Each structure stands twice: as structure tokens, then as C-alpha cells.
């Protein structure tokens, strides 16, 4: 399951989505996330689902990657749905009642919306990293943060830290998987027992994982220093970011989705 986490992974390709300007993809992703929480009708989510499926098809990303990205959060989604179902009070008579447990129509609707939001939130962020290389993400974030330099915000440093953090998510997951397999070969048990016991058994993994993380960070810093890396002012780029017609097409498509999906809130 650890290897199923797709956030931070990049799948090379030459699709329409891969060729989009990283700044446009970042802004579209942010607007997409905001739209997920603005829409409060199932009619609106029909447009969001259609837009998401079309984006995945156009990006030529295998649906297997999308499914793998959802697998690790299925338990979280299930817990969220159950909490909303049983913790939400309604104005109508309960659909189901047993002792202190009551299920209302309002709870089922709220749970459905929360599940949809979580699922498509994961899909949207996964699609961004799957179609955008770490270098493009760095350049895109830095360009978007450039106006904040006037008030002293270190745009390049922030962009670099955010991109390195995303890039090392799959690396740390692989490292965790290796440590778990090494300890299981020595007799460690991570799968049996109660949930609390299994959580305690995971504690010994943290020490070697932290040591490995600090070692990787030190190696990365040494490698950047050895190559005389100096970010920020005066840094040149092999590929300059330029807006093209496909970027305007994608932006207009996103605007249409937001307008139609939010407008659907007023439909009866």
C-alpha cells in the first residue's frame, strides 16, 4: 500500500496536459480544488466528474495510477463517510435508528459530498504531479510567487522546498517499504494484533527512516553545493516558460466548468 501513493510521482509523456505551462496547471488545480467545495449539488458534480475523466483521458495517464493513488486513502474516506452519516442530525425522521445510532437523510447527503470531495481532491492533485516534472513545478511555483518578492518573500527558496518535498514523497515511501520488509525478515509483525498494537509496532521504523531522510537531505545539499548551485537572481533556465494557445484553451475550459458547476447550485 505504501508504494501505491502517487502524489509526487511523474509519468513522462507528450500529451496535451503534459505540454501545458506549469503555471497554468497549478492555477487550474487550485481553482479545481476551490470548485470542489463551492459545489453543493449532485448536478454540479456531474460536470466535475466529466471534466476530471476527460482530463485523465487527454493526459494519457493510465487509470491504474489514479486507482493506486486512491487506495491508501480509502480507509480515511470510509471513516469520514461513517462519521458524517452517524454524527449529522436531521430535521426529518431518521431513516435508521438503533440505540444511540441514527441515520438521517441529511447525513447521507453530507457523507456523499465529503466522499466526492476527498476522492476528486486526491485525483486532481495526483494528476498535477503525474503530468508535471519536478523542475517544471519549481519554475511554475517560483514564477507565481515572484510578485511577493517585493515584500521580502523568498520565492525561489519556497518553490524549491515545496518541490523537493513533493519529489521525496515517493522516495520516502520506497524507503519505508524497504525498512518494513527488512524488519519483517527479522521477525517483526506489522499485520496482526489490534490497531493500537500495529501502530506501536511501526514506531521502530521511524528511527531508521529519520536517519535515512537526514542522510538523503545532506547528500542532496552536498551535491547542489558541489555543482555551485545558486538559485534566485541571475539563474538561467534551459526552458523558458511561455504561454501558448493550449494554455488559454485549458484556462477557458476551467472557467466554463466553474461557472456551470457553481451555477448548478441554483437549479431546482
What is the rounded distance in angstroms from the CA atom of residue 102 to the CA atom of residue 95?
8
pLDDT at 29: 92
Question: 10 Å Cβ neighbour count for 197?
Answer: 11
CA distance 178 to 173: 9
Please write the tens of the pLDDT for every residue from 41-74. Answer: 888 899 999 999 999 999 998 888 888 878 778 8
pLDDT, position 8:
63
Q: pLDDT in tens for each of the 268 residues of the chain?
A: 455 566 667 888 888 999 899 899 999 999 999 999 999 888 889 999 999 999 999 999 888 888 887 877 888 888 888 888 888 777 777 777 777 778 888 888 888 888 999 999 988 888 888 898 877 887 888 888 888 878 877 777 787 777 777 777 777 777 888 888 887 787 777 667 666 776 677 777 888 888 888 888 888 888 888 887 776 666 666 677 788 899 999 999 999 999 999 898 887 6
The DSSP output letter for 191 is S
Q: What does the pLDDT read at residue 235? A: 66
Q: 73 with 4: CB under 8 angstroms? A: no
Nearest CA to 157 among 229, 104, 102? 229
Q: Do 123 and 66 form a contact (C-beta atoms < 8 A)?
A: yes
Q: What is the pTM of this model?
A: 0.77
Question: What H or E segment, with its residue span, contains residue 97?
Answer: strand 96-98
248 alpha carbon, distance to own chain's centre: 24
Residue 5: exposure state from Cβ atoms within 10 A (0-12, 13-18, ≥19): buried
Distance CA 62, CA 56 (A): 8
- Strand segments (E) across 120-221: none
Say if CB 27 and CB 87 are below 8 A apart: no
Q: What is the pLDDT of residue 232?
A: 62
* Nearest to 52, CA basis, from 122, 157, 124, 2: 124
DSSP SS3 for 103: strand
CB atoms within 10 A of CB 146: 13
The vertex-227 CA angle with 232 and 130, nearest 5°, equals 65
* Cα 11 to Cα 120: distance, rounded to the nearest angstrom: 19
Give the model's pLDDT for residue 7: 63
Q: What is the DSSP letter of 102?
A: E
Q: How far apart are CA 232 and CA 210, in angstroms?
A: 29
Amino acid at each position: 500500500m505504501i508504494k501505491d501513493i502517487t502524489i509526487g510521482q511523474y509519468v513522462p509523456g507528450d500529451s496535451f496536459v503534459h505540454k501545458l505551462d506549469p503555471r497554468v496547471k497549478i492555477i487550474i488545480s487550485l481553482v479545481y480544488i476551490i470548485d470542489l467545495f463551492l459545489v453543493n449539488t449532485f448536478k454540479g458534480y456531474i460536470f466535475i466528474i466529466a471534466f476530471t475523466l476527460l482530463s485523465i483521458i487527454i493526459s494519457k495517464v493510465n487509470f491504474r495510477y489514479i486507482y493506486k493513488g486512491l487506495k491508501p486513502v480509502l480507509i480515511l474516506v470510509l471513516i469520514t463517510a461513517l462519521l458524517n452519516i452517524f454524527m449529522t442530525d436531521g430535521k426529518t425522521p431518521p431513516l435508521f435508528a438503533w440505540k444511540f445510532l441514527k441515520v438521517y437523510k441529511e447525513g447521507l447527503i453530507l457523507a456523499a459530498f465529503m466522499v466526492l470531495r476527498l476522492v476528486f481532491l486526491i485525483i486532481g492533485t495526483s494528476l498535477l504531479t503525474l503530468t508535471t516534472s519536478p523542475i517544471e513545478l519549481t519554475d511554475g511555483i517560483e514564477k507565481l510567487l515572484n510578485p511577493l518578492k517585493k515584500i521580502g518573500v523568498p520565492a525561489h527558496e519556497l518553490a524549491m522546498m515545496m518541490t523537493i518535498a513533493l519529489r521525496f514523497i515517493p522516495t520516502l515511501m520506497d524507503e519505508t517499504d524497504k525498512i518494513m520488509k527488512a524488519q519483517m525478515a527479522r521477525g517483526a509483525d506489522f499485520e496482526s494484533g489490534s490497531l493500537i498494537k500495529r501502530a506501536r509496532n511501526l514506531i521502530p521504523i521511524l528511527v531508521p527512516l529519520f536517519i535515512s531522510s537526514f542522510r538523503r537531505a545532506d547528500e542532496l545539499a552536498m551535491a547542489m553545493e558541489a555543482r555551485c548551485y545558486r538559485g534566485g537572481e541571475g539563474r538561467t533556465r534551459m526552458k523558458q516558460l511561455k504561454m501558448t494557445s493550449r494554455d488559454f484553451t485549458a484556462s477557458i475550459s476551467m472557467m466554463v466548468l466553474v461557472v456551470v458547476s457553481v451555477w448548478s447550485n441554483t437549479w431546482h
